[in-house]
Structure 1
């Protein structure tokens, strides 16, 4: 039996965390990004995220436990 040794994942905080969110493919192609609200509050704060979403002309939804960023500045229709 062989085992593969992997390097531990490094955690990214603050501005780097925010930068990574908006550099992902979903942000670049008009997709959706979902993060736990707890993580947003711990890393940058909801206010900072709201500011960055507005700056990019995206939309932000919030549930009890998650935030959902819609990376498309076009109109949104709620169907249900």
Structure 2
């Protein structure tokens, strides 16, 4: 959970791989780790029209889901 929450990663795939590595390091009895994460995107909502609320970048707190296509990203890492 710590890796998922704190990893400053360029991609979901990279974070998933690092999470798998951590599990394999911590639990020698585990042979394979598999993840499937939804690939959904959320965008900041422009709230500047309401009392000048800044809801962009690091100040963003309100997001709307993208209505377009999304999918499932899968990852499986095994010991050699």
Q: Which has the larger radius of gyration?
A: 2
Structure with a larger share of its residues in strand: 2
TM-score, normalized by length of structure 2? Answer: 0.28
Structure with a larger share of its residues in helix: 1
TM-score, normalized by length of structure 1? Answer: 0.28
Higher relative contact order (CA 8 A, sep 6+): 2
